[in-house]
Structure 1
Amino acid sequence: MIAIQRTSCQQTNGEDAPCPVNGNPYMIAFGVSQIIFSQIPDIDQLWWLSIVATVMSFGYSTIGLGLGISKVVENKEVKGTLTGVSIGTVTPEQKVWRTFQSLGNIAFAYSYSMILIEIQDTVKSPPSEENTMKKATIISVAVTTLFYMLCGCVGYAAFGDSAPGNLLATGGFRNPFWLLDIANIAIVVHLVGAYQVYCQPLFSFVEKEASRRYPESSFITNEIKIHLIPGKPFNLNLFRLVWRTIFVMTTTLIAMLMPFFNDVLGLLGAVGFWPLTVYFPVEMYIAQKNVQRWGTRWVCLKVLSLACLVVSVAAAAGSVVGIVSDLKVYKPFHTDF
């Protein structure tokens, strides 16, 4: 939304106009929308939500890829090097930490395991859910890898060492304005739904645990029927209303305190990648298939898990260093981008 406002400003005042934008109103608006959506029961199981997310993802990824290719053609050269940002543009220390941070950004793209079961709940059978999900996982990982690698490589080829963290928003592509606006609107729509899909498992866990521990509490268990739509009453639960609202308000406050997209994304990716995407699935596979201890397959799986742990630790360290560097020059709640 900041990028959309800035492009509108630059259309009026010229492409090189700085056009600073305060991000706080947009963060607050996003938080308010999530408070409302959080009260919709089982929103994560709406079958069309995944279709909307897929269309949005393909939309802004394709736009970014197309603009990158056109930029390379316009430059008549491929910028950048095989070894990445040159020493001199950044210090050797900065290059190491940024490399680690980038691993976290990549890891975040594959942290889908936490919502895998939620998606599986929406799959119809026959064929069996397991077969459908196995095929879907193979296709989605392949497509995700292809698009992310292409966007990353083409973006670097287009801008070289000056490539920004966000090609569609912060100092990247500037024309055509209308196409960039479409891409950024697609990102907004995608993230509004993604927030809910990622939070619903946590919401469900907390509410089930609260009901189990305090089954006699009317505040936790009572449902109040509100007739918003004829014939389809809305079940309002006071505990759900209060706790989900507090959760969304807290995450919104944190976002306003630390609006560092790439660094925070890298940290989230690093923290969630190894335990949820690698360790638990590997251990479950070993237990389910009775993989022989110290056998070739067992050793390979353990080495894979250990290697991914090293990646996660390095990515977390790089992201923390990036956040600390950002905090040195940042004033809380002063989000003029």
Structure 2
Amino acid sequence: MISKLRKSLRQVKHKARGEKLCCAPLLEVVGNGPLCSLPTEILIMIAKYLPPSSLAILTLCSKALRYKLGAKYYKADIRNSIESFAHKYPPIQYFLKIYWTYHQNAWSPSLTPNLPELKMFLYLLARDSTSEIFCFRCERQHSPNKSDWVTPWRPWSWGNCESLDGHYLRYYYGRYFHFERAQLAMQKHRRGISPRKEIKRLTDLSSIPNSSSGMWPDMRTLYSIEARIISNRLYVKAVRKRIYAMETSETVFERIRRRLYICPHLLEIECLVRNIVDGCSVHDGPHENEDKIDATTLSQCKYCLTEMRLDVMETRKLFTGTRSIIVTTWQDFGNLSHPSNSDWIAHLATEIPYSVVKFPLGSIRKTFESKPPDR
């Protein structure tokens, strides 16, 4: 406290005498990133080829870049807004806030802002991150943890980024299985970093309720799930199992609740697999030889190309009997380059076969079981 008072008194004396204070030390121009370590001449050459909006964002990345490029590279119409929002938001977020402020009069809640240069900049920036992704839904950079909860999405909502098209997969694999978390796993894999942590979280079964209520029947039947990245594509193997007493009389509601959903297009009921869209039965191949692995032991969904195998086992004890239904599925979710990627969209609830890659029957299971995962 005494030192602060002495410093204030010294400043007052200097002002009263008209003396100039010593200059503050220069800003350290060496940053941590490879871009900051480039010579100033090279940075200026790069700046001349960038559009004004991209250049304005570039100067917000670090103090070293802002010091080297100078204030003349700031876009004039955002300079004042940068100063006013600097104390509220991190660089990327308050630039988005600035853009929204300029366009709030013409903004429509049904449309997302269109700023290709900013989107591309954030996308390229996120590719080098090990913990964050560029979210294609809310068009900003954040952690996949923000997408863990199922909440309605609204344009420019800073609190959540979830859209409704991912809810169907959550009903099958839990709330941690969504595009953003799988996107980070693939992003780390492409950089040569092990995505073991993201894969483990993606297949976490702890989010599945243990309640006996009928709200989550398809999730409670999930016995195991395993995910692998093979040839830069995400493969998932899931096993679902349900057991019921054969002699017990059931009501219509109990029979409906006992249905086992295989994918958004197929369900198992009364030991038969039926297509939800047209109601036709999907006949599984014979299972005489359990060790035989070929196309005759599988069925394939014609919409999402999910490969499945149905096993029925009966156990009888005196006057009672139980029947176990085991369904094993193999799925290919593609390289997850974008939420509208055809291989990802095909696994959502839609009647149109989106998948461009036509996998022969048995190829997805063979790839998952025979090929080792990428390291």
Q: Under a length normalisation based on structure 1, what TM-score does the superposition of the two structures give? A: 0.21
Q: Under a length normalisation based on structure 2, what TM-score does the superposition of the two structures give? A: 0.20
Higher strand share: 2
Structure showing greater radius of gyration is 2
Higher helix share: 1
Higher RCO (C-alpha under 8 Å, 6+ residues apart):
1
